[in-house]
Amino acid sequence: MSDTAVPQSRRAGSRPVPRMAHAAWMVTAVFMLSNSPTPLYVSRQRALGFSSGTLTVIFALYIAGLLGTLLVAGQLSDRYGRKPVLLPGLAAALIACALFATASSVAMLAVARLLTGIAVGVIVSAGMASVIDLAGTERRKAALLASVAMVLGAGLGPLLAGVAAQTAAHPVAPVFGVEFVILLSALAVALRLPRNRPAHAPGDAPPLRLPSVPVHNRRHVAGGVAVFGPGITATSFVLALGPSLLARLLHVRSPLLAGGMACAMFIAATGVQFVARRGSTRTTFVAGTVATTLSMVMLCIAVHASSAAVLVAAALFAGAGQGLGQLGGLTLIGLHVPDARRAEANAVMNIGGYLPAGLMPVMTGYAIDRIGFTAGATGFAVALTLIALAAGAAAVLALRHDND
């Protein structure tokens, strides 16, 4: 059995909560970076002169970096320990932060987003696994903490950027300067993580392969993907195109509102997890599916009625859908997947969720360039509603005999 997992959990037994909180801070810090550019996209788009399609491609490069990293980060983390994987990931985040602060071209923005995706790929596999590793017997509490840390960071980033954009003439440098300091604090946490012996001697490690989970755990991970995937696709639409939708269709150009909407979305994602933490996983999945469906209904109403308030409601339901799907999926992984495969299972769940989250907003962005915001957003909402209902029903049925 790997020393990266079971012994780590045993060592955590004496002071699990402070150790978990420190590890969770790394997750929060990186996710703050991931969404900090959201309120600044409209001004960057106007200054550099690129289309909605190009904007969604920049966003999708983040997804590409994340997915490519997830293919290997979980396996490397399970084999060789969390720290050797986390340190390069945090270094990528610091470089991305510097590029965002100085970007003067679409290419620099694209590279920054790609590096951000790499950092997030590391943190959702090795970072979240480290939170659960340090939990001892508090697996449910650790799953909640890891999930909340992610959505809290995802909400604080755009709020910081929105406030800066509303109050400062040149907000980019202050936003990413603060974020750089936050990431340095996360790097300090990573440096203090326990140094664990590799699970394999250097010459004995099996070759890297596509991430997988044990056969008897596949339905647990698939259930998380089925509800988390549509939820994070809905929030990805809000992050990628929400500010443009506010500006073009609803004639609202406040970066504070754009950042506040994204922040409120992830506050909703955080709050619903505390409400749902004592319920069964099946109940959590049902609620997540309903929330994502309501989000898409509200999106349709918002674009046809030109209502910013209804768009904010759509964002809140999207956040709830992502948060509930994520909580349910991480709980099943924490309870059922063996320690030595946990980071790999986290990677599989996130690959399944981020694939549609990358592809559907990009397709919608190009559709909007051709047929307009109203028709493009409506098509996205209808398609995601059908996917969410079908996948959510399948997840709930697959868990009908479980007591989690």
175-195 confidence digits (pLDDT tens):
999 999 999 999 999 998 876
Cα 202 from chain centroid?
32
303-319 confidence digits (pLDDT tens):
999 898 899 999 999 99
Most confident among 58-72, 185-199, 277-291, 326-340 (mean pLDDT) = 277-291
The Cα 100–Cα 82 span in angstroms is 27
Q: How confident is the model at residue 231, as a pLDDT?
A: 97
Q: Can you read off the two tokens belonging to residue 209?
A: 């392969």
Q: How confident is the model at residue 103, as a pLDDT?
A: 85
The contacts of residue 188 (CB under 8 Å, 6+ apart) are none
Q: What is the DSSP letter of 217?
A: G
Q: How confident is the model at residue 265, as a pLDDT?
A: 93
The contacts of residue 97 (CB under 8 Å, 6+ apart) are 33, 112, 176, 179, 180, 183
340-395 confidence digits (pLDDT tens):
788 788 888 989 998 998 889 889 988 988 998 899 999 999 999 999 999 999 99
Q: How confident is the model at residue 206, as a pLDDT?
A: 66
Q: Can you read off the two tokens belonging to residue 367?
A: 């559709």
> What band does 11 get if pLDDT is binned at 50, 70 and 90?
very low
Quick check: 293 pLDDT over 90? yes
Quick check: 10 pLDDT over 60? no
Q: Contact 328/281 with Cβ under 8 angstroms?
A: yes
Does residue 165 or residue 208 have the better pLDDT? 165
Q: How confident is the model at residue 205, as a pLDDT?
A: 60
| pLDDT average, residue stretch 9-20 | 59
The contacts of residue 366 (CB under 8 Å, 6+ apart) are 52, 53, 56
| Single-letter residue type at 72 | V
Helix residue ranges, H only, 3-82: 6-11, 16-35, 41-48, 52-80
Q: How confident is the model at residue 4, as a pLDDT?
A: 41
3-state class percentages of the chain: helix first, strand second, coil last, to nearest 5: 80, 0, 20
Q: Can you read off the two tokens belonging to residue 303?
A: 């674009």
47-72 confidence digits (pLDDT tens):
777 776 777 788 778 888 998 998 88
Report the percent of the chain where pLDDT is more than 90: 40
Q: How confident is the model at residue 200, as a pLDDT?
A: 53
**Residue carrying the six token digits 């995802």:** 154
Question: Which residue, among 129, 61, 56, 151, has the nearest Cα to 349 in the 3D structure?
Answer: 129
| pLDDT average, residue stretch 209-215 | 84
Counting Cβ atoms within 10 Å, is residue 248 exposed (0-12), middle (13-18) or buried (19+)? middle
Structural domains for the chain:
10-195+216-398 (1.20.1250.20)
Q: How confident is the model at residue 388, as a pLDDT?
A: 98
The rounded mean pLDDT for the chain is 86
Quick check: 13 pLDDT over 70? no
Cα three-residue angle 378-324-210, rounded to 5 degrees: 85
| Single-letter residue type at 403 | N
Q: Contact 316/200 with Cβ under 8 angstroms?
A: no
Q: How confident is the model at residue 196, as a pLDDT?
A: 62
Report the percent of the chain where pLDDT is more than 70: 91
Does residue 46 or residue 307 have the better pLDDT? 307
Does residue 154 or residue 225 have the better pLDDT? 225
> What band does 8 get if pLDDT is binned at 50, 70 and 90?
very low
Q: How confident is the model at residue 204, as a pLDDT?
A: 59
Does residue 77 or residue 115 have the better pLDDT? 115
| pLDDT average, residue stretch 249-275 | 85
| pLDDT average, residue stretch 297-308 | 93
